[in-house]
Amino acid sequence: AKDAGYYQHHKNGNAIDLSYMSTPGVDPTGRNYDENKAYDRDKTIEYIKTISRNIPEGVNGFVKFNDLEVHKYFEKNPLPNLYFKKDDKGSMHSNHLHLELSSLPKVK
């Protein structure tokens, strides 16, 4: 992971990379959401909403994903505990979602 650069932004154990949602049975045509005919924007939005509903109370975070239509959706329909960040480097988060949470409560 260190050679791939993951340690640079997944350093605290509070971040995870997740696949965007795709339509079953549709052959993927590319890695990035905007090149992939199997990419399902509506399911990806529902996926993010489901994640938000399951975040422990008092924990907040952000998502990086470069689909501007998803950004626009959540600008109009904000979540109570997640916000969206744009990539500093352009296309790094066009092929997956990056979810990062604030400090998580300790498991008892």
3-state secondary structure of 47: helix
Residue 85: inside a domain, yes or no?
Answer: yes
Predicted pLDDT of residue 14: 86
Q: Over the chain, what is the mean pLDDT?
A: 88
Residue 72: inside a domain, yes or no?
Answer: yes
Predicted pLDDT of residue 59: 93
Read off the pTM: 0.85
| Count of domains observed in the chain | 1
Residue 97: inside a domain, yes or no?
Answer: yes
Helix or strand holding residue 16 (H, E)? strand 15-18
pLDDT digit string, tens, across residues 10-50: 667 788 999 999 999 999 998 999 999 999 999 999 999 99
Residue 39: inside a domain, yes or no?
Answer: yes
Q: Which of the pair, 107 or 72, is modelled with greater confidence?
A: 72
Residues 6+ apart with CB under 8 A from 44: 20, 21, 33, 65, 67, 70, 97
Residue 47: inside a domain, yes or no?
Answer: yes
Residue 25: inside a domain, yes or no?
Answer: yes
Residues 6+ apart with CB under 8 A from 55: 61, 81, 82, 101
Residue 106: inside a domain, yes or no?
Answer: no
Residue 1: inside a domain, yes or no?
Answer: no
Which domain range does residue 40 map to? 6-101
Q: Look up residue 107 and give its two tokens.
A: 């498991």
83 conformational bin, left if phi > 0, alpha if psi -120 to 50, beta if neither: beta
Predicted pLDDT of residue 90: 63
